[in-house]
Chains A and B, each alone.
Chain A
Amino acid sequence: MDTKTLITEAKARFAHNSAKEYLKEKYEAKLLVAEQGGLWRADQETIAFLTVMPNGGDDKLILMDTFDNPVLVDRSKLLSKLKGVYRSVMAEWYNEWKELENKR
């Protein structure tokens, strides 16, 4: 028996909240990036901080990573990496979320 038939026969209901929770688990894990000796979350807060903290000529910045270790980073390079990851992961998240919304 294929899964669709199984769902129909079991009169199973799509669990919207659980699916939302699952998407959060999945995509938050994908937002993690190891770069320049630290582990970073490509989230809005980190990207915003990197954006507003230009640091003079050498563009170096000390930042706390997700393990609470201070890491000396090349700001622009890290910002560019995190922005790239953020855009691609959030686009995937959004698309899957839209599919999920259609199941309501």
Chain B
Amino acid sequence: MTRGVILFAFNSPKYNYYDMALYTARRVKHFLNLPTTIVTDEDSLPEVQDDIWDNIIRVTPDKDNFRDWGLWINKGRYMAYNLSPYDETILLDVDYVVNSNKLLTLFDMDTDFCCHNKTNFLMHPGVPQELLSVYSYEALWATVVMFRKSKRAEQIFQCLEMVQKNYEHYANIHNFIAPVYRNDYALTLALRIVDGHYCDSSNFIPWDLLHVGKNTQIYKNNSDEFDTEFTVMFDNWQRGKIRKEYITVQDMDFHIMPKDLFLDIISE
């Protein structure tokens, strides 16, 4: 039984996703002791490649997706099932900070596929769960996905491909904004379709995905590459003034939403 992590990383004019993936792969090796496969393109790969990679898979990315800050190459995640060389795979977003060995618990779960359905924001607890739209489902999260090579997991990824290719149609039905493709939304729909519009709790990772979101800064407390202590600082607006608040987190994974913050952490 082989196990490993797969990362998708395609550089955009604004952000270097390969560097983010490299940082994440090093932490995967350190905290999880798992091999990592990267799915990327020739344009993103540096001339000298790092030996952290178990496999480097080159694909031609779909560059037809734009966010407010520019080109965002995030389509094609459905290929993870066919491209993964492992029997049991964790598919991670490159901006997920592996900061403990918690993800290994996913392999103990008796399910072929799971992802996060609940999230929380560090320093901003109680934020409501995101909905696809007011009258639609709560969003699932493609940030961390565990799957086993199985008929069911294959069907979910095939359905993810179908949703991606007909995204505008699903956006019309569920009343969300189509021009920006989001894997989270596509996964939400794909999993529901495969499960007959019923969502079993065994599809879900039984702890919350923790985000570092807007108005937040994050700093490494020590220069050691694998130190697990970070300070999270939050701009709390009160009576028209910002009051800085902070906490210290240790031995716990989190997802950094603003890419600039993630790149700051890498460069510290």
Distance in angstroms from A5 CB to nearest chain B CB is 11
Which A residues form the contact surface with B (CB < 8 A)?
3, 6-7, 10-15, 17-19, 21-22, 25-26, 28-30, 32, 34, 37-39, 66-69
A12 and B110 contact, CB distance less than 8 A? no
Whether A14 contacts B201 in the complex (CB less than 8 A), given A25-B120, A25-B208, comes out as: no
Contact residue among B109, B200, B252 (Cβ-Cβ distance under 8 Å from A26): B252
B244 and A66 contact, CB distance less than 8 A? no
Q: Which chain A residue shows the least CB distance to B247?
A: A19
A26 and B234 contact, CB distance less than 8 A? no
Q: Does B206 contact A (CB under 8 A)?
A: yes
Contact residue among A30, A37, A67 (Cβ-Cβ distance under 8 Å from B202): A67
Q: Does B207 contact A (CB under 8 A)?
A: yes
A25 and B219 contact, CB distance less than 8 A? no
Q: Does B108 contact A (CB under 8 A)?
A: yes
**Please, how many residues of chain B have a CB less than 8 angstroms from a CB on the other chain?**
34
Distance in angstroms from B152 CB to nearest chain A CB is 15
**Those of B96-113 within 8 Å (CB) of chain A:** 102, 105, 108-111
> How many contacting A-B pairs (Cβ < 8 A)?
85
What 9 new A-B contacts, CB under 8 Å, besides A29-B208, A34-B109?
A3-B219, A7-B231, A13-B243, A15-B234, A15-B246, A18-B247, A29-B206, A38-B110, A39-B108
Whether A34 contacts B125 in the complex (CB less than 8 A), given A10-B233, A15-B247, A25-B210, comes out as: no
Whether A26 contacts B251 in the complex (CB less than 8 A), given A3-B221, A34-B105, comes out as: yes
Task: Determine the chain A residues whose CB is within 8 A of the CB of B102 once the complex forms.
Answer: 29-30
Q: Does B144 contact A (CB under 8 A)?
A: no
A43 to B71: give the CA distance in the assembly, Å: 46
B244 and A28 contact, CB distance less than 8 A? no
Distance in angstroms from A31 CB to nearest chain B CB is 10
